[in-house]
């Protein structure tokens, strides 16, 4: 059984640093940031006949399951829908992980638990 979750956060462009700071306060060790475009907003602004699609940052953070809820909570407080980051965050199960021994050790079940 794997003890990892992938937390994904989609925020307005420029707010990924807030997401990572919050995740690190919750115990995460790092993450990866991707650039993207939002497509769900049908009220995108239009200038001179050209529709402007908002840029987004997608932050992917691999965390041990025991801290997942705390990471989601902290990220929501820092950059959630009630902030200027207008972010959403969710987690997905991870089947297996290789190449990150320190993180794997942190997620290993403790003896007697």
CB atoms within 10 A of CB 51: 8
pLDDT tens, position by position, 34-83: 999 877 665 656 666 665 668 999 999 999 999 999 999 999 999 999 99
Q: What is the mean pLDDT of residues 80-93?
A: 95
Q: Is the pLDDT of residue 107 over 70?
A: no
In sequence order, what are the residues at sequence separation of 6 or more whose Cβ sits closer than 8 angstroms to the Cβ of residue 11?
18, 19, 56, 57, 59, 79, 85, 86, 87
Classified as helix, coil or strand, 3 is coil
Q: Is the pLDDT of residue 112 over 60?
A: no
CB atoms within 10 A of CB 87: 25
- pTM value is 0.80
Find the helix or strand (DSSP H, E) in which 34 lies.
strand 32-37
Q: What are the chain's domains?
A: 4-40+53-107 (3.30.70.120)
Q: Is the pLDDT of residue 89 over 90?
A: yes
Q: Report the share of the chain in percent with pLDDT over 90.
A: 65
How much is the pLDDT for 39?
A: 73
């Amino acid at each position: 059984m794997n003890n990892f979750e992938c937390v994904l956060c989609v925020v307005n462009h420029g707010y990924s640093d807030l997401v990572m700071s919050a995740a690190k306060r919750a115990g995460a060790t790092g993450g990866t940031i991707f650039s993207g475009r939002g497509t769900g907003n049908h009220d995108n602004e239009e200038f001179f006949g050209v529709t402007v699609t908002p840029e987004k940052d997608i932050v992917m953070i691999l965390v041990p399951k025991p801290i997942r809820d705390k990471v989601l909570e902290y990220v929501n407080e820092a950059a959630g829908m009630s902030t200027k980051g207008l972010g959403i965050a969710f987690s997905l199960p991870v089947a297996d992980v290789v190449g990150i021994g320190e993180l794997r050790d942190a997620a290993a079940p403790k003896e007697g638990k």
